[in-house]
């Protein structure tokens, strides 16, 4: 951060778990259903109803906990009491001082580690729509409530204040989302509210060990909003402190259109939620067998997939992060395993395949490996290889067949030599300048060869041939 | 008996539970709640350093159900129970303040 200040950010991420049913009842867990069609006595808080914990929700929480290197512990549910119509029971069932996952870490693609305080289970709330006053809460005439979302399982993942910028916070959420999707725990859709982020932001003089007073920013509905809101909020706090004022501990709301945060509730008094153990639920304590089974069912996680591909391709993990994010690592690894040139495989996947991701699923490892082999062997020029690959993605087929159909017959090494020799003979002055080391003339000579071969020659090999004839290679 | 709970505490708890209580009731409940707390203090006097907190009186853990759908209620039946409904939703009075 500029001007001798350091930004400190901790994030609370709420992820809706991808179960079939809600956390404590058999109502379907589904986004976008008709209002109040997925409700029952339990999630409406009707008298006499009793919650029963969903085994799959516990298992998904365990998967995420293990993926984040947390300790999975025996845990207890509490009631968080408050009066607000988003929960018909007037309390939310949540985990309080004995959460299921504690003390882990997440590694960003650049190797930076972010501590995880906890990841606990709780139920989501209903959805409120304010009527009148332009939908704003303070001017609304009344409000309408849909309880379809009430009781949907949530995992609240709390990070340590280990993040130092909006950009790093974005990278953290992107990586966390990738882990949630990879473990099957959540669909990670921020736009549908499956993943919701609150940011605790403070600033302090560079080198200070004490944290400054923090503000909690809500309403961060996209990675873009998250990064912008944090940077803006840090700048606001720095401006206040430099003017000799102090920061008030409060909740602030991000306004994406206006590009700033606005003050919400002050948090000078901590809320009194009167947490107490939920008497209708017994503790959940996964035994060693269950833990081992869940651990064994974990897929290869993004960080490991990056390392695996980076090692096979001989590049840095950060350079293949995008390929892993797009799910193209298996394709590239398969091709390299089949003997394809790693550099060419990475380039073609990161460009042509990435440009047509929807079609990438039907691209076989064998066909891709063959295309990479043809390019690396000089049977296709880079330009031709790109066109053949685009055609393979568009309508399938084998690379050799497509190349032949397009007249991209391989210009074998023995066919190239006479063409280059002819160009050299036709342009003696230019070739003398090339021999003398004039760098500008090379492009002209290569161009002449391309013209003579209708573009079917590989630029790199033409240069090599020219240098050989000039006695330079 | 020492005062275990003040009138101010009673008023605060009543507010948190959204209960309207009169001055006389506050005095009455302070005495009654004080007696309950006095009883709890007997337990607090014991040495419980090595005793884990009880989360539930039954020695039972891991009561779980399979993640299988059960029928939800009929919407009209549900909304008919509400004081007011509008647009297939529960209608509630104007909300002051933000969600917790």
Interface of B with A (CB under 8 A): 16, 18, 55-56, 58, 60-73, 75, 78-79, 86-95, 97-100
Q: Which residues of A touch B94 (CB under 8 A)?
A: 140-143
* Same domain, residue pair A201 and A335: no
pLDDT of residue A461: 80
* Same domain, residue pair A123 and A239: yes
* Same domain, residue pair A39 and A161: yes
* Same domain, residue pair A150 and A233: yes
Residue A370: C-alpha distances to residues A105, A338, A382, A383 (Å) = 40, 9, 14, 16
Q: What backbone phi and psi angles, to 5 degrees, belong to B2?
A: -65, 155
Does residue A146 form part of some domain?
A: yes
* A263 conformational bin, left if phi > 0, alpha if psi -120 to 50, beta if neither: beta
Which residues of chain A register pLDDT less than 50?
1
Q: Which of B67, B72, B92 sits opposite A56 (nearest CB)?
A: B67
pLDDT of residue A412: 63
Terminal CA-CA length for chain A? 51
pLDDT tens digit sequence for A147-173:
999 999 999 999 999 999 999 999 999
Which residues have CB under 8 Å from A442's CB, separation 6+? A434, A463, A466
Say if residues A16 and A153 touch (Cβ distance below 8 Å). Answer: yes
Which residues have CB under 8 Å from B34's CB, separation 6+? B1, B3, B4, B5
Q: Which residues of A touch B14 (CB under 8 A)?
A: none
DSSP-assigned letter for residue A21: B
The tokens of B54 are what?
A: 């009880």
Q: Which of A26, A84, A86 sits opposite B69 (nearest CB)?
A: A26
Instruction: Answer yes or no: do A137 and B55 touch at CB < 8 A.
Output: no
Helices (H), A314-356: 321-325, 329-337, 342-348, 354-355
User: CA B94, CA A401: separation in Å to the nearest integer?
Assistant: 69
* Same domain, residue pair A454 and A374: no
pLDDT tens digit sequence for A19-34:
999 999 999 999 999 9
Per the document, the length of chain A is 473
In chain A, positions 64-123, which contact chain B (CB-CB < 8 Å)? 74, 76, 80-86, 98
pLDDT of residue A137: 66
User: CA A289, CA A254: separation in Å to the nearest integer?
Assistant: 45
Of A405, A424, A459, the domain-final residue:
A405
Q: Say whether A140 sits in a helix, a strand or coil.
A: coil
Does residue A114 form part of some domain?
A: yes
Number of domains in chain A: 3
Which residues have CB under 8 Å from A14's CB, separation 6+? A124, A154, A155, A156, A157, A195, A196, A197, A198
> Which of these, A102, A35, A90, A97, lies nearest to A64 by C-alpha position?
A102
* Same domain, residue pair A244 and A355: no
Does residue A225 form part of some domain?
A: yes
Q: In Å, how far is B94's CA from the nearest CA of chain A?
A: 4
Give the A:B interface size as CB pairs under 8 Å. Answer: 140
pLDDT of residue A300: 94
Q: In Å, how far is B68's CA from the nearest CA of chain A?
A: 6
Does residue A32 form part of some domain?
A: yes
* Same domain, residue pair A397 and A432: no
pLDDT of residue A376: 87
User: CA A211, CA A161: separation in Å to the nearest integer?
Assistant: 9
* Same domain, residue pair A186 and A251: yes
Instruction: Answer yes or no: do A54 and B63 touch at CB < 8 A.
Output: no
User: CA A136, CA A219: separation in Å to the nearest integer?
Assistant: 14
- Give me the domain span that covers residue A395: 300-405
pLDDT of residue A413: 60
Q: In Å, how far is A220's CA from the nearest CA of chain B?
A: 15
Does residue A291 form part of some domain?
A: no
Q: Say whether A90 sits in a helix, a strand or coil.
A: coil
Cα-only R_g, chain A: 30
Instruction: Answer yes or no: do A55 and B99 touch at CB < 8 A.
Output: no
pLDDT of residue A1: 47
Consecutive sets of 10 residues in chain B, 100 residues long: mean pLDDT of each? 81 89 95 92 87 81 97 97 96 78
Does residue A460 form part of some domain?
A: yes
pLDDT tens digit sequence for A29-87:
999 999 999 999 999 999 999 999 999 999 999 999 999 999 999 999 999 998 889 99
pLDDT of residue A452: 84
Domain B7-44: top CATH class: mainly alpha
* Same domain, residue pair A175 and A263: yes
* Same domain, residue pair A169 and A39: yes
* Same domain, residue pair A317 and A258: no
Does residue A288 form part of some domain?
A: no
Does residue A293 form part of some domain?
A: no
List for chain B the helix, strand, coil content (%; round to 5): 40, 10, 50
């Amino acid at each position: 951060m500029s001007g001798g200040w350091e930004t400190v950010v901790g994030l609370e991420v709420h992820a809706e778990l991808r179960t079939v049913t809600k956390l404590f009842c058999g109502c379907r867990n589904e986004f976008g259903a008709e209002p109040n069609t997925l409700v029952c006595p339990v999630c409406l808080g009707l008298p006499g109803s009793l919650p029963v914990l969903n085994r799959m929700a516990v298992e998904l929480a365990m998967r995420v906990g293990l993926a984040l290197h947390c300790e999975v512990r025996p845990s207890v549910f509490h009631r968080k009491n408050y009066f607000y119509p988003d929960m018909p029971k007037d309390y939310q069932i949540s985990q309080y001082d004995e959460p299921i996952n504690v003390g882990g870490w997440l590694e960003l693609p650049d190797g930076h580690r972010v501590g995880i305080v906890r990841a606990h289970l709780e139920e989501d709330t209903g959805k409120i729509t304010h009527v009148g006053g332009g939908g704003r809460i303070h001017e609304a005439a009344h409000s309408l409530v849909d309880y379809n979302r009430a009781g949907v399982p949530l995992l609240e993942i709390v990070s340590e204040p280990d993040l130092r910028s909006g950009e790093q916070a974005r990278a953290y959420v992107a990586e966390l989302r990738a882990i949630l999707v990879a473990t099957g725990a959540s669909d990670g859709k921020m736009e549908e509210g499956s993943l919701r982020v609150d940011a605790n932001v403070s600033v302090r003089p560079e080198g200070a060990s004490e944290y400054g007073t923090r503000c909690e920013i809500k309403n961060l509905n996209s990675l873009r909003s998250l990064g912008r809101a944090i940077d803006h909020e840090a700048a606001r706090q720095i401006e206040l402190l430099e003017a000799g004022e102090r920061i008030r501990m409060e909740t602030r709301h991000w306004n994406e259109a206006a590009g700033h945060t606005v003050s919400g509730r002050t948090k000078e008094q901590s809320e009194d939620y009167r947490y107490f153990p939920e008497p209708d639920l017994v503790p959940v304590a996964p035994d060693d067998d269950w833990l081992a089974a869940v651990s064994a069912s974990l897929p290869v996680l993004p960080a490991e997939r990056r390392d695996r591909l980076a090692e096979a391709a001989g590049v840095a993990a950060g350079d293949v992060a995008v390929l892993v994010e797009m799910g193209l690592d298996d394709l590239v690894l398969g091709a390299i395993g089949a003997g394809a040139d790693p550099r060419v495989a990475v380039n073609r996947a990161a460009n042509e395949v990435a440009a047509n991701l929807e079609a990438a699923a039907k691209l076989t490892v064998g066909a891709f490996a063959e295309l990479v082999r043809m390019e690396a062997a000089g049977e296709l020029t880079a330009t031709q290889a790109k066109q053949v690959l685009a055609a393979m993605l568009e309508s399938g087929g084998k690379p050799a067949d497509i190349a032949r159909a397009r007249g991209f017959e391989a210009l074998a090494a023995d066919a190239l030599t006479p063409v280059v020799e002819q160009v050299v003979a036709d342009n003696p002055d230019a070739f003398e300048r090339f021999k003398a080391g004039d760098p500008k003339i090379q492009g002209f000579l290569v161009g002449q060869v391309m013209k003579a071969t209708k573009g079917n020659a590989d630029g790199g090999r033409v240069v090599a041939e020219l240098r050989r004839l000039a006695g330079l290679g | 008996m020492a005062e275990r709970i003040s009138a101010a505490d009673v008023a605060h708890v009543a507010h948190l539970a959204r209960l309207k209580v009169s001055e006389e009731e506050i005095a009455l409940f302070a005495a009654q709640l004080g007696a309950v707390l006095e009883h709890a203090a007997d337990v607090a006097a014991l040495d419980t350093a090595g005793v884990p907190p009880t989360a539930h009186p039954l020695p039972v853990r891991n009561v779980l159900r399979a993640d299988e759908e059960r029928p939800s209620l009929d919407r009209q039946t549900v909304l008919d129970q509400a004081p007011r409904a509008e647009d297939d939703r529960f209608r509630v009075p104007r909300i002051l303040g933000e969600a917790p």
